[in-house]
């Protein structure tokens, strides 16, 4: 082509380029400007409305918080434990009130301290919350607040009135040092109108700000809480880069933003624009607090007694139109790109072709990378990161600048093996894509799950040029799955563990039994006539009954036990950590079973219907014998059906022998309760003599003459009486009967000096008022107290020795004698023996039985007798059955005897007949 033609072609191309390019260029520019302005106006309106909504939420959050504090203050002042403490002046009630304060502090978690200051200004109770736990302040750390301004102001208020202190640093408490706090206080008034001090709540204002900030979360905008003079009370991070509170007086919105303060300080609420950006503010007015409740108020309250604080939100101009700015930043390259495409499309030149190819590549990458709104990452064929989107930055914490140029290995964790990654890349090379769950690491080190998709981007020739990765954060989904799994172990109606969780815990309990040797028990519980309730009142009412049954069952057992609903109207209670002995474990289980029967027999209020129900309970014990988890459950089920067959509203043990034992024990208790009223108890008297065979008295022994079973041994019924408390009325009856007998003998010269010895149980001796009871019985029968001897065992003297000695001395001063029974068989100690006001030691029959042949027994008896004489105590030996035994005892200076050699225990008629016969000692022999 000639130089002329080339020049003409260039001019022609330039002419046609201008004709075609300029209109489109102007259209593109005009469209971009229109879009930018429209978006700017729309975003400003949206931000304004959003800020008004956020300021309303923030204002409401602060006001509701203040109202809640006022309400808590008033409720604590009316606390029942506090009112009882005021009325009764009991130190024990102080702990109940402290417990209530601790519950309030622990449940609210935002009061630094709650205290009660009495009318003298002295702190009586104070609790402190350290951010995790509530601590009771020891009494020695309680201080006098009589000079505190808030105390004197609050004490002058009437009942129900609230005092709010100025917002200031706390200078009184080491725990609250350098904290801005509010003090809210109210007087404590009893039912008669007398004041008993004040209740004071210390509330950190930083929590108040957290309340309003969390109610309307901030992004780049700033949130502040200021007082009437514009000084910062609290603020969100980043406001003027101030340090932590307290803030210097020079750092205030009035000083730093005077133009804005002219609007804020002169109005109660509003919104306006300045060169700094958009401002929105509102004053705080707690609506539910009437003026009568705020007679005393601080400088932070204005003349109308409304809290004169302002919540302020500010969006800097740079952030106000951030989205519009982003749009503008995007419009510029898009417009430039369009203009460039239009321009270069007019050129038939090699550079146009090259640039067209580059544009095509860019468009293909962009189309692939941004097809999804998920987190995106683009690498070249070597795996070097070229581009990431904003979702990637938000998810991982890495900015685009930090990620570009690196490889995706910066997200890698140790949770996957090298084989895992090898297989992943094999699939990518083979199929061009891969999908799967993978664990990656955020910038802060947190490991999280995600669903990852990797696509290979290829050229027209099939050569991989780029890789595009997109993924979804699975953290919330994993948490939801865990919640679903958790729900799978609990009954949705009652909230109790279901059958699956019960079996898991039963497996654990069986394994634990193998280690510890302790027993456990299953109580299979079935509601009687539940189907009738469903058929007559409907399943909704039936569900209400099941919920109430579940609640009552949980109240009947310990925290370590399990209450489960395994279906329909069937419940199972699993008891753990029972006694090693099966009989005792069965007794423990029966007590809980009877408790459940009683609780579930109580009437149920089901909406407007009062319903009476009962249950049948089957019990199976399990221990360390290698049982499977199904075996005790089946046994309890069988026992439950036995309970139903026996008439419902009953419990049955699977083991018949154990059932028989427990039934026998229960029958014995029931019969024993009737024995005293039906005069089935009798006193038998066993004679006691001296060395000359002269009668000196007798020991009173209790016998139970049952109308069907005959004589029941004390070894059988006395332990039951001790356990059930029946020993107290029985012991009193024995005392009354013995004293009445002494009164009868008192009128006969032959028996006037006889001494009766009665046994006293530990429970009877240690009951309150025992000494008073004994003196009352002696005085009522008008007998000589010296003729009554109380026999005590060594075991009952070990606990509360000082109280025991005091009781014994009280009765000794009255004239009653004491004998130490079974001496030498227990915890014989000279230390307590020398302190006890005893008159006699009784040598146990276990030492007397083999006295004739046992040298050790002889040595023990000689020692006991010598020790007793050295302590000025007389000695009596029981269980003397042969003359040889008597002679040995007599030779060792023991002159008082009791045993079959002289007479067996006998009813009073036979005993008196024995006394009246000639030559009593010879007759006894």
pTM: 0.40
Q: How confident is the model at residue 242 (pLDDT cuts 50, 70, 90)?
A: very low
The mean pLDDT of 558-583, rounded to a whole number, is: 91
In a shared domain, residues 683 and 726: yes
pLDDT at 567: 87
Crossing angle of the two packed helices 530-537 and 539-556, in degrees rounded to 10: 140
pLDDT at 526: 93
Could you list the beta-strand ranges (E) of 212-348.
222-226, 232-235, 269-274, 277-283, 310-316
pLDDT at 137: 87
362: in domain: no
> For 3-35, how does the pLDDT look when each residue is reduced to its tens digit (9 = 90+)?
544 554 455 556 655 665 567 677 777 777 777
pLDDT at 918: 44
116: in domain: yes
CA distance 570 to 548: 14
In a shared domain, residues 408 and 513: no
Instruction: Residue 606: count other Cβ atoms within 10 Å of its Cβ.
Output: 18
> For 36-50, how does the pLDDT look when each residue is reduced to its tens digit (9 = 90+)?
677 777 777 877 887
On whether the CB atoms of residues 652 and 642 are closer than 8 A, the answer is: yes
On whether the CB atoms of residues 648 and 616 are closer than 8 A, the answer is: yes
Decide if pLDDT at 579 tops 70: yes
On whether the CB atoms of residues 450 and 471 are closer than 8 A, the answer is: yes
The mean pLDDT of 433-444, rounded to a whole number, is: 88
pLDDT at 243: 47
Q: What is the CATH number of the domain that holds 745?
A: 3.20.20.450
Closest alpha carbon to 759 in 925, 864, 878: 878
CA distance 652 to 89: 50
Q: Which residue has the tokens 């009495």?
A: 118
CA distance 394 to 373: 13
722: in domain: yes
The mean pLDDT of 722-751, rounded to a whole number, is: 92
pLDDT at 164: 77
Closest alpha carbon to 155 in 196, 96, 214: 196
The mean pLDDT of 169-197, rounded to a whole number, is: 72
> For 220-229, how does the pLDDT look when each residue is reduced to its tens digit (9 = 90+)?
457 777 777 7
In a shared domain, residues 745 and 894: yes
**Which tokens go with 564?**
């489960």
**Which tokens go with 441?**
């690491």
CA distance 266 to 245: 26
In a shared domain, residues 640 and 742: no
pLDDT at 302: 35
* Mode of pairing for the β-strands spanning 874-877 and 840-843: parallel
Q: How confident is the model at residue 698 (pLDDT cuts 50, 70, 90)?
A: very high
In a shared domain, residues 120 and 220: yes
pLDDT at 61: 77
- Per-residue b or e along 6-26, where b marks 16 or more CB atoms closer than 10 Å to that residue's CB: eeeeeeeeeeeeeeeeeeebe
**Which tokens go with 182?**
């509010």
758: in domain: yes
Decide if pLDDT at 304 tops 60: no
256: in domain: yes
Decide if pLDDT at 558 tops 70: yes
Q: Which residue has the tokens 């808590």?
A: 72
> For 349-406, how does the pLDDT look when each residue is reduced to its tens digit (9 = 90+)?
434 543 444 446 555 665 554 545 678 889 998 889 988 888 888 888 899 888 898 8
> For 827-853, how does the pLDDT look when each residue is reduced to its tens digit (9 = 90+)?
666 777 788 899 999 999 989 998 888
Decide if pLDDT at 290 tops 70: no
In a shared domain, residues 619 and 513: yes
In a shared domain, residues 629 and 601: yes
pLDDT at 785: 95
On whether the CB atoms of residues 789 and 840 are closer than 8 A, the answer is: yes
Burial class (CB in 10 A: 0-12, 13-18, 19+), 621: buried
pLDDT at 788: 95
Domain boundary, last residue among 606, 634, 654 = 654
In total, how many domains does the chain have?
A: 4
The mean pLDDT of 294-311, rounded to a whole number, is: 48
313: in domain: yes
pLDDT at 291: 40
pLDDT at 57: 78
Q: What is the CATH number of the domain that holds 507?
A: 3.30.70.270
pLDDT at 48: 81
391: in domain: yes
Decide if pLDDT at 480 tops 60: yes
Return the minimum-mean-pLDDT range out of 130-134, 398-402, 524-528, 890-894: 130-134
Decide if pLDDT at 299 tops 50: no
pLDDT at 580: 87
Decide if pLDDT at 185 tops 80: yes
Mean residue pLDDT of the chain comes to 81
Crossing angle of the two packed helices 714-724 and 727-746, in degrees rounded to 10: 120
The mean pLDDT of 408-427, rounded to a whole number, is: 87
SS3 content of the chain, % helix, strand, coil (to 5): 50, 25, 30
User: If DSSP codes are grouped into helix, strand and coil, which group holds residue 388?
Assistant: strand
Domain boundary, last residue among 421, 448, 479 = 479
Share of the chain above pLDDT 70, in %: 80
Decide if pLDDT at 309 tops 50: yes
Q: Which residue has the tokens 């014994």?
A: 808
Domain boundary, last residue among 426, 445, 479 = 479
- Quote the domain boundaries for residue 262: 51-320
Q: How confident is the model at residue 259 (pLDDT cuts 50, 70, 90)?
A: confident
Return the minimum-mean-pLDDT range out of 159-168, 470-479, 835-844: 159-168
Burial class (CB in 10 A: 0-12, 13-18, 19+), 804: buried
Q: What is the CATH number of the domain that holds 377?
A: 3.30.450.20
331: in domain: no
pLDDT at 368: 56
**Which tokens go with 788?**
């009554």
pLDDT at 87: 79
CA distance 717 to 730: 11
Q: Pick 214 or 764 by higher pLDDT.
A: 764
> For 493-521, how does the pLDDT look when each residue is reduced to its tens digit (9 = 90+)?
998 999 999 888 988 888 888 788 889 99
Q: Which of 249-253, 658-662, 745-749 has the highest mean pLDDT?
A: 745-749
In a shared domain, residues 730 and 648: no
Contacts 24+ apart (CB under 8 A), 134-142: 134/102, 134/105, 134/106, 136/98, 136/102
Q: What are phi and psi of 671, to 5 degrees?
A: -70, -35
In a shared domain, residues 613 and 686: no
In a shared domain, residues 457 and 504: no
Decide if pLDDT at 689 tops 90: yes
Q: Which residue has the tokens 């423990």?
A: 588
Number of H helices and E strands in the chain, helices first, is 31, 33
In a shared domain, residues 197 and 266: yes
In a shared domain, residues 873 and 814: yes
């Amino acid at each position: 082509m000639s130089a002329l033609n080339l020049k003409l072609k260039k001019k022609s191309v330039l002419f046609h380029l201008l004709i075609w390019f300029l209109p489109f260029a102007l259209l593109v520019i005009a469209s971009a400007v229109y879009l930018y302005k429209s978006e700017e106006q729309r975003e400003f309106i949206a931000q304004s409305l959003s800020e008004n909504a956020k300021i309303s939420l923030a204002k409401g959050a602060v006001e509701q918080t203040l109202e809640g504090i006022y309400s808590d203050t008033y409720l604590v002042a009316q606390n029942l434990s506090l009112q009882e403490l005021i009325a009764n002046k009991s130190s024990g009630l102080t702990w109940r009130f402290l417990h209530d304060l601790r519950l309030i502090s622990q449940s609210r978690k935002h009061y630094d301290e709650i205290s009660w200051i009495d009318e003298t200004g002295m702190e009586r109770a104070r609790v402190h919350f350290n951010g995790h736990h509530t601590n009771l302040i020891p009494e020695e750390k309680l201080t006098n607040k009589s000079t505190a301004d808030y105390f004197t102001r609050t004490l002058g208020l009437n009942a129900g009135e609230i005092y709010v202190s100025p917002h200031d640093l706390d200078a009184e408490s080491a725990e609250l040092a350098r904290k801005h706090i509010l003090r809210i206080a109210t007087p404590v008034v009893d039912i008669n109108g007398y004041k008993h001090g004040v209740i004071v709540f210390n509330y950190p204002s930083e929590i108040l700000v957290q309340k309003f900030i969390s109610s309307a979360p901030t992004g780049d905008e700033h949130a502040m809480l200021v007082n009437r003079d514009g000084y910062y009370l609290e603020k969100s991070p980043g406001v003027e880069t101030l340090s932590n509170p307290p803030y210097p007086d020079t750092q205030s919105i009035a000083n730093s933003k005077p133009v804005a303060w002219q609007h804020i300080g002169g109005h109660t609420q509003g919104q306006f624009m300045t060169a700094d950006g958009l401002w929105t503010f509102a004053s705080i007015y707690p609506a539910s607090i009437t003026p009568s409740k705020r007679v005393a108020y601080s400088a932070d309250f204005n003349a109308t007694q409304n809290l004169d604080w302002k919540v302020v939100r500010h969006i800097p101009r740079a952030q106000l139109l951030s989205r519009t700015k982003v749009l503008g930043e995007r419009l510029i390259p898009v417009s430039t790109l369009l203009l460039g495409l239009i321009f270069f499309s007019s050129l038939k030149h090699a550079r146009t072709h090259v640039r067209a190819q580059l544009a095509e590549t860019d468009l293909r990458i962009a189309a692939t990378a941004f097809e999804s709104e998920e987190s995106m990452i683009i690498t070249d064929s070597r795996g070097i990161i070229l581009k990431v989107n904003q979702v990637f930055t938000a998810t991982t914490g890495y900015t685009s600048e930090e990620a570009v140029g690196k490889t995706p290995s910066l997200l890698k964790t140790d949770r996957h093996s090298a084989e895992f990654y090898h297989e992943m890349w094999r699939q990518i090379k083979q199929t061009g894509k891969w999908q799967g769950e993978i664990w990656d690491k955020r910038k802060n080190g947190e490991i999280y799950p995600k669903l990852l998709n990797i696509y290979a981007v290829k050229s027209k020739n099939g050569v991989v040029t780029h890789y595009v990765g997109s993924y979804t954060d699975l953290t919330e989904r994993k948490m939801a799955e865990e919640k679903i799994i958790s729900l799978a172990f609990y009954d949705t109606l009652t909230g109790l563990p279901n059958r699956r969780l019960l079996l898991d815990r039963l497996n654990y309990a069986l394994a634990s039994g193998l280690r510890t040797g302790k027993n456990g028990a299953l109580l299979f519980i079935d509601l009687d006539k539940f189907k009738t309730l469903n058929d007559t009142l409907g399943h909704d009412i039936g569900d209400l009954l099941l919920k109430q049954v579940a609640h009552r069952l949980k109240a009947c057992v310990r925290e370590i036990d399990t209450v489960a609903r395994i279906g329909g109207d069937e419940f199972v209670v699993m008891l753990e950590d029972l006694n090693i002995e099966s009989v005792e474990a069965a007794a423990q289980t029966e007590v809980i079973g009877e408790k459940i029967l009683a609780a579930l027999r109580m009437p149920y209020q089901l909406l407007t219907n009062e319903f009476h129900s009962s249950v049948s309970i089957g019990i199976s014990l399990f221990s360390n014998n290698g049982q499977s988890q199904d075996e005790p459950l089946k046994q309890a089920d069988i026992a439950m059906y036995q309970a139903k067959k026996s008439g419902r509203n009953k419990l049955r043990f699977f083991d018949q022998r154990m059932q028989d034992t427990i039934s026998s024990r229960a029958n014995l208790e029931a019969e024993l309760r009737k024995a005293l009223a039906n005069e089935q108890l009798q006193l038998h008297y066993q004679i006691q003599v001296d060395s000359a065979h002269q009668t000196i008295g007798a020991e009173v022994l209790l016998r139970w003459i049952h109308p069907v079973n005959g004589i029941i041994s004390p070894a059988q019924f006395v332990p039951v009486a001790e356990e059930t408390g029946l020993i107290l009325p029985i012991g009193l009856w024995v005392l009354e009967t013995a004293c009445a007998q002494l009164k009868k003998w008192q009128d006969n010269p032959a028996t006037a000096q006889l001494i009766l010895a009665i046994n006293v149980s530990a429970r009877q001796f240690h009951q309150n008022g025992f000494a008073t009871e004994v003196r009352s019985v002696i005085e009522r029968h008008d007998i000589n107290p010296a003729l009554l001897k109380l026999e005590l065992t060594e075991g009952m003297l070990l606990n509360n020795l000082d109280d025991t000695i005091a009781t014994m001395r009280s009765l000794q001063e009255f004239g009653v004698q004491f004998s130490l029974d079974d001496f030498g068989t227990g915890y014989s100690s000279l230390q307590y023996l020398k302190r006890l006001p005893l008159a006699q030691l009784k040598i146990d029959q276990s030492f007397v039985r083999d006295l004739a042949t046992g040298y050790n027994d002889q040595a023990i008896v000689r020692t006991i007798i010598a020790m007793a004489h050295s302590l000025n105590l007389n000695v009596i030996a029981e269980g003397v059955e042969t003359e040889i035994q008597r002679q040995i005892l007599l030779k060792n200076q023991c002159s008082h005897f009791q045993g079959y050699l002289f007479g067996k225990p006998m009813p009073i008629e036979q005993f008196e007949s024995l006394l009246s016969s000639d030559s009593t000692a010879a007759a006894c022999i």
